[in-house]
Structures are given as structure tokens and as C-alpha cells.
Copies of this chain bind each other. A is one copy, B any other.
Amino acid sequence: MAKQLHLGAFMRPVSIHTGAWRYPGALPDANFSLAAIQRFIRSLEAAKFDYFFMADHLGVLNLPRQALMRSHTVTSFEPFTLLSALAGVTERIGLVATASTTYDEPFHVARRFASLDHISGGRTGWNVVTTSNPDSSRNFGLETQPDHAARYHRAREFHDVVTGLWDSFADDAFVMDAAKGIYFDPARMHALNHKGEHFSVSGPLNIARPVQGWPVIFQAGASDPGRQLAAETAEAVFAAESTLEGSKAYYDDVKGRAATVGRNPDHIKIMPAVFLVVGDTVEEARAKRAKLDSLVHYDSGIHSLSGMLGHDVSGFDPDGPLPDIPESNASKSSRRFMIELARAENLTIRQLAAKAGSYGGLAFVGTAKTIADEMQHWLEQAACDGFTTMFPYLPEGLEDFTGKVVPELQARGLFRTEYEGETLRDHLGLPRPDNRFFA
């Protein structure tokens, strides 16, 4: 059989797009509605998605009040409680939660994932993040966040401790011999006794080894240390490249780094994030996206535009052209991109702000056929192993994809028509890790 795509969904209750809660038919109160999210995950499971990935932040984003008040992302469910509740209404789809290595304890993280893996029958994944949002630190007693290198150094040790704790018991430890009164064989239990630079953790973990051995390790490493951490530890990567060439280079780099450290490159799945808008015609899909982008409030868009330009442009006439602006320390690529766009399309500041406030990464906007073509091309060009999909508005944008694009992919033999295994590792074709302490 030819290689198939993997598909995950990167979700917020209302959608990842800033304007989505205002879209006709959207559910702005999904932030408080378990029933809404149950509907979404049931659609994804019916479409045989590999996983449901819950976005997360450790705090309210530090935006100016005029931008923040427009944002449906200010409130959401906490990932572990949400995914545990969703485990009960699903049977097969994977459940991926973010946990921070900078602001949590390895014992807690290991235990929650092990518990969710038992509750879900082996369907969990851990998105390992170091938490880049600097404001999060002030919710955890720090005035400033640890620097990038320190966060990644701590993350590497955190991963070692968590996976070591997951290996606390051999799979056959729990003999439960009632006649002899032996609940478990203590020779099949290992106390980690980790003493490292950042952590000192005795163990053992007070829960049996996860169903999957270890939950699947996800990461989104983009920087050099991030890529290296992914190559050493990740099994699925939420990549953020916005072009085919960029993603091919990323794919080759990360899989190459994995091979260099002795891993099988097939055991690290590259899953670029892609924003998807489906129409019955390409024009309809583009019109949907334009309508959605128009719902980004000017106060949000102008804040995003100022950030990209590295210059506060909120004082200029919204309906005038972009004036010359001074050089700054902002990312040169995003600054140049917006200035060139303004000039090339003769855009007003208002039009430019709408683009800045929209999703800026990889997007496939078209029909079931054109989107399936693009996905197939990326797969055949070895630019990915699948996609981490993002929907423009919910439920309609999600159900457009599951109802129209997924059947097209299935008809081409590019996506499963039924789950073949039980666990997230089964879906992704990943091996169950050996226990480092027990054969």
C-alpha cells in the first residue's frame, strides 16, 4: 500500500482564528460548553482522524485591552480535565495535551498522562512545550521567564524524568494473586532515584505503566535547540513551515538529526500545521476566508500589524495608505512581507490590519479536490507525513473538511477508512517503547 497521510486536529473550543466567534453559525460559547466540543470530536472520530490536539496557554495573553476584549481565546478549558471528559465519549481518536516543562513538575505530568492513558485505553500524546509566552512566568512566581537555552536544557531533563517515571513498573508487575496475598511483584517495580541539574525525583510513580508504554511525544520545535530536542525525543512534530520547500527542508533536517542520534527517522512524524477553508468552488472558499478575515476587529488587526511592523501604526488614518515607517527590531521577514504586500496590492491600513490579524501560516483554501491535490503533493514530495489541521470556524469549517475532503482523500487511498489499531501509537505507526528497567 502506498504511504498514507496522518491527520490531527489542532483545536480551540471556538477555533484558532481570531474572527471565528463572529462567523455566522459559530458557537462563541463553546468555551463553556462541553457538549459543543463533544460534537466536534465525534465528527473527527467518525472521519478517522489520528488525534485531537488541544491548544493551550498558561495565562491570559498580555494584549492591550482594546485587542484582548475582542478575543475568544481569553477563556478555555484546561487540557487534562477536558481530554479526560472527552475520552468517555470517544473510542479510538488520540487525545493530545500540552504540558509545560518550565512551569510544572515531572511527577505531576508523568502521573496525569499515565492516568489519562489508562482512562482512554492508550490514546494520549504529550505535547512537550517550554512555554514561550513570557507573561506566563508571572503566574508562577517569576518576574521574567528563564531564557531560551535554559528552558530547553530543563525540558530535556524533564523528559528523561517523566519517561523514567512511566517505566516504574514492568507490564507484568501486577500479579494480583489473591490466594497468596501478592498484589504486585516488588522485583518488577523500579524507584527512579533521579538526581539531576534541575530535578531530584525519587519515584516510583504510583500508577502502572501507561497502556502505550509511553504516551506519544509531540513537539513543535522550530529553533535549533527545538529541532534538536525534537530529533532526540519527539515522535510527532507540529511543524510550522509555510511553504513546501521550507517543510521539505525541515523534514530532512529533523529526520536527519534523528538518524544521527541513532533513531529510526520513520518514528518521528512531521505534521505541518495547515489552515483549511473548503468550498464547493475555489472562489467560494476564498470568499469564505475573506468574510472570516473581515470579522477580525480593527483593534485586533492593528495590534497584530503594529507587532509585525515593529512600529505602532494605530495613530494613522485607517483608510489611508501605509506611510514609510522607520526600521526596527521586529522580525525583518514579517516587516518586509507586510510592506511589500501593502505596496503591491495598494492596500489601506485597515485592509492590511485585517490580513495581519488573520492566520498567517500555511493555508489550503479551495475545493475538496484542490485541497486533496495539495495534501497529496506534499506527501509525495516528502514534505510531511500528514497534517495538523486547523479549521476556520466551528462546526461548519470542521464538518466541511470531514464531510468533503476526507472522503476525497479516502477515495484516493491516501487516508484510512477505518481505524486498524486501538491506540494513538497504532494510528501513527509508532512502536511501543521498551521499558528501560525491565525486559
A residues whose Cβ falls under 8 Å from a Cβ of B: 21-22, 26, 28-29, 31-32, 34, 57-60, 65, 68-72, 74-78, 80-82, 84-85, 87-89, 103-105, 107-108, 111-112, 114-116, 118-119, 135, 138-143, 169, 174, 176, 178, 181-186, 189, 199-208, 295, 297, 299
Q: Does B28 contact A184, Cβ atoms closer than 8 Å?
A: no
CA of A79 to CA of B174, assembled, Å: 21
Q: How far is the CB of A85 from chain B (nearest CB, A)?
A: 5
Q: How many copies does the complex hold?
A: 2
Q: Does B141 contact A69, Cβ atoms closer than 8 Å?
A: no
Q: Find chain B residues with CB under 8 A from A140 CB.
A: 105, 107, 201
Q: How far is the CB of A134 from chain B (nearest CB, A)?
A: 12
Q: Does B32 contact A118, Cβ atoms closer than 8 Å?
A: yes
**With A140-B105, A202-B135, A207-B77 in contact, is A28–B88 under 8 Å at CB?**
no
Give 5 CB contacts A-B under 8 Å.
Answer: A74-B189, A78-B112, A84-B84, A85-B119, A104-B105
Q: Does B22 contact A181, Cβ atoms closer than 8 Å?
A: yes
Q: Find chain B residues with CB under 8 A from A31 CB.
A: 174, 208
**With A85-B84, A89-B88, A138-B200 in contact, is A206–B115 under 8 Å at CB?**
no
Which of the residues B26, B119, B200 comes within 8 Å of A82, measured between beta carbons? B119
Q: Find chain B residues with CB under 8 A from A71 CB.
A: 183
Q: Does B81 contact A181, Cβ atoms closer than 8 Å?
A: no
Q: How far is the CB of A170 from chain B (nearest CB, A)?
A: 12
Q: Does A183 contact B32, Cβ atoms closer than 8 Å?
A: no
Q: How far is the CB of A33 from chain B (nearest CB, A)?
A: 9
Q: Find chain B residues with CB under 8 A from A189 CB.
A: 60, 74
Q: Find chain B residues with CB under 8 A from A70 CB.
A: 181-183
CA of A76 to CA of B295, assembled, Å: 48
Q: Find chain B residues with CB under 8 A from A204 CB.
A: 60
Q: Find chain B residues with CB under 8 A from A185 CB.
A: 69
CA of A87 to CA of B59, assembled, Å: 25
Q: Does A82 contact B81, Cβ atoms closer than 8 Å?
A: no
Q: How far is the CB of A205 from chain B (nearest CB, A)?
A: 8
